[in-house]
Amino acid sequence: MRFDASSTQHLSCHVPLTLLVVMRNTLLGLNISCLKMKQLLMTGYFAIFLLPIVVLGQKNESVVWEVSGNGLSKSSYLFGTVHIASAKLLQRFPKVMNIAKSSDFGLFEKGGNVIGNVQDADIYSPPLDSIFTKSEYALVDSFFTASSYGSIKPHNNSASLVGMAQAVMMIKKEETKDQDMTFDDFLHFEMQRLNKPTFQLDETGQMARQEAKADHRKVAEVIVVLIKNDLKEEEITTPDLYDPKTYNESLRNDLMLDQEATAYLKDNTMERHALWLPKILPKMREGSCLVTVGLAHLKYKTGLIQLLREKGFVVREVEL
């Protein structure tokens, strides 16, 4: 996995394995237990990961949905992923790979060919040594140097903080510590290996605008706390995207297709969805597509499931 902004699963709604939110400044440098951390991770500016891995085995709603009707000659599929999950999960859900093998195209948030005329832009991330303090920089560099990723120093001027945070979470989990790509990237690689054309939904223009709004110092604090503490996903609440009181309910009924998304989630998904749909629709009319995006992009009234239904398509869940 590279650390540059163009290679990472952007925002963070992506997903995701756990919901990590940005902590208050008072957390920085403190030796805080996991339980205390759960209580303190309360208000944030954006989330890095979206849903626990249990969603892949949830009972109420699937993470794979079939799209048909409205003149389509073949069915297409939406797959809501957890970006930093173990690629080995695909072995537990062979239906996903069967769909990939039978699809004509693969559409992903990142990677693949562009569709149509897209806005291009440079994605600026401040140098790492301008964001971390000297002691933090040494801590982060030591952490990555001890892993298969290697030192952050060669990436000082081009690294994506979100990508680094994702990598920290993967390194800290036994099943992903040696995995050098995200779950989505692995599926993308598999589709390329099957000689399936793949296409990118995101545009660098939008990514650059999102990066420009990011609070890089806050994300740096997240990375430091992640390295200093062994946080478990079940001990992290989700207040930035959900009411913590209804978190458990949200896991039991993940997609909440009849509900409004939070203002935060709308702000971080609606512009992207507006860019994605004009790419998804013509590709589905060309042939069968496997559209692989973070699970958050399927959720709520503003997610892809409901947006496609509003366009006249039949969207039905697929039992895994």
Residues 213 and 264: their CA atoms lie apart, in Å, by 13
Q: Give yes or no for residue 4 having a pLDDT over 70.
A: no
- Report DSSP state, residue 241: T
Enter the tokens of residue 157.
């001027």
Q: Give yes or no for residue 308 having a pLDDT over 80.
A: yes
Question: What pLDDT shows up at residue 105?
Answer: 96
Question: What pLDDT shows up at residue 239?
Answer: 39
Q: Give yes or no for residue 90 having a pLDDT over 50.
A: yes
Enter the tokens of residue 8.
């990472």
From residue 205, give the alpha-carbon distance in Å to each of 88, 110, 199, 221, 297: 33, 13, 17, 26, 19
From residue 241, give the alpha-carbon distance in Å to each of 43, 110, 162, 207, 295: 10, 23, 17, 20, 13
**Number of compact structural domains in the chain:** 1
pTM of the model: 0.75
Residues 44 and 214: their CA atoms lie apart, in Å, by 11
185-226: per-residue pLDDT in tens? 999 999 999 999 999 999 887 777 877 777 888 888 888 888
Mean pLDDT of the chain: 76
130-185: per-residue pLDDT in tens? 999 999 999 999 999 999 899 999 999 988 888 898 888 889 888 888 888 888 99
**Residue 272 belongs to domain spanning:** 5-317
Mean pLDDT of 29-46: 31
Contact 129, 137 (CB under 8 A): yes
Higher-confidence residue: 119 or 297? 297
